[in-house]
């Protein structure tokens, strides 16, 4: 069974979820990110050796302290911020957890389940990956004895598979609707309301009077604030 350290990158609370504007206010978007992080951490806390948030934002550091998890301050980078931030965190993890596999999760997958992490821990592969909708990566776990560098961004799922193949790493893929859903649009909020009962994220959306119904238009779901027509 693998020993795992989880790394979760967070760009900034103030810059969070801009694609949900103007459906949610800035304060609501910040709170949404916080409750999604809380959901993820509650699920994985007892399954991993350590959880590390990495960010340039001091308020994220304060929130990590509130959640009783570790924090790595992102260095100043000229470009490719996410992947360089992950490199910063991975360097720190390797110092303190030399033989642990590294699990990278995004901050906006509140439907993650404990069984997903248990499955990862029981797989013997060098790279375990789960795709997001649209070709991204929503779970990445790798054996840190390899010189594997995360390459998040457009179509990162395929880039990660290709990199692992070039390094002769054994690969296993987790196909999961729950892992594939990252929250970026009102439609994603609708899916969260349908499938996220029992999560902090669900309760937050309900408190915002956000409702979801099936739709026969161009979108599958009709997602709106309850006071909207």
How far is it between the farthest Cα atoms of the chain? Answer: 56
Q: Do the beta carbons of residue 215 and residue 222 sit within 8 Å?
A: yes
Residue 103 forms beta bridges with which residues? 6, 141
Nearest to 137 by CA among 186, 98, 86: 86
Q: Is pTM, for the whole model, over 0.75? A: yes
Residue 209, Cβ neighbours under 10 Å: how many? 11
- Rounded to the nearest 10 degrees, the angle between the axes of helix 200-207 and helix 186-195 is 120
The whole-angstrom separation of Cα 223 and Cα 106 is: 24
The whole-angstrom separation of Cα 69 and Cα 199 is: 20
At 78 the pLDDT is 59
The whole-angstrom separation of Cα 111 and Cα 28 is: 19
At 229 the pLDDT is 52
Each residue's pLDDT expressed in tens, for the chain with a length of 229 residues: 889 999 999 989 988 899 999 899 999 999 999 999 999 999 999 999 999 999 999 999 999 999 999 999 998 775 667 899 999 999 988 888 878 999 999 999 999 999 999 999 999 999 999 999 989 999 999 999 999 999 999 999 999 999 999 999 999 999 999 999 999 999 999 999 999 999 999 999 999 999 999 987 788 899 998 876 5
The whole-angstrom separation of Cα 200 and Cα 111 is: 10
- CA angle 45–48–50, rounded 5-degree value: 85
Residue 70 forms beta bridges with which residues? 52
Residue 129 forms beta bridges with which residues? 140, 173
The kind and range of the H/E element at 102 are strand 101-104
Q: Do the beta carbons of residue 191 and residue 181 sit within 8 Å?
A: yes
The kind and range of the H/E element at 213 are strand 210-214
Domains, the chain, ranges and CATH? 4-180 (3.90.550.10), 186-225 (no CATH)
Q: Do the beta carbons of residue 152 and residue 82 sit within 8 Å?
A: yes
Rg from Cα positions in the chain: 18
End-to-end CA distance of the chain: 52
> Who's near 155: CB < 8 A, 6+ residues apart?
135, 136
């Amino acid at each position: 069974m693998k020993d795992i350290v989880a790394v979760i990158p967070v760009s900034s609370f103030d810059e969070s979820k801009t694609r949900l504007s103007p459906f949610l206010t800035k304060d609501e978007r910040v709170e949404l990110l916080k409750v999604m992080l809380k959901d993820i951490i509650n699920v994985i806390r007892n399954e991993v050796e350590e959880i590390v948030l990495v960010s340039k934002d001091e308020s994220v550091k304060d929130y990590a302290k509130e959640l009783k998890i570790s924090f790595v301050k992102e260095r100043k980078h000229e470009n490719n911020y996410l992947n360089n931030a992950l490199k910063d965190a991975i360097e720190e993890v390797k110092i303190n957890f030399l033989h642990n596999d590294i699990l990278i999760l995004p901050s906006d997958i509140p439907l993650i389940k404990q069984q997903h992490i248990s499955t990862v821990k029981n797989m013997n592969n060098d790279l375990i990956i789960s795709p997001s909708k649209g070709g991204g990566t929503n779970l990445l776990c790798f054996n840190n004895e390899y010189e594997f560098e995360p390459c998040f961004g457009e179509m990162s799922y395929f880039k990660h598979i290709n990199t692992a193949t070039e390094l002769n790493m054994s690969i296993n893929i987790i196909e999961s609707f729950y892992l594939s859903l990252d929250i970026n649009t009102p439609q994603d909020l609708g899916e969260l309301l349908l499938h996220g009962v029992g999560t902090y994220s669900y309760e937050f959306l309900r408190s915002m009077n956000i409702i979801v119904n099936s739709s026969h238009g161009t979108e599958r779901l009709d997602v709106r604030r309850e006071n909207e027509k």
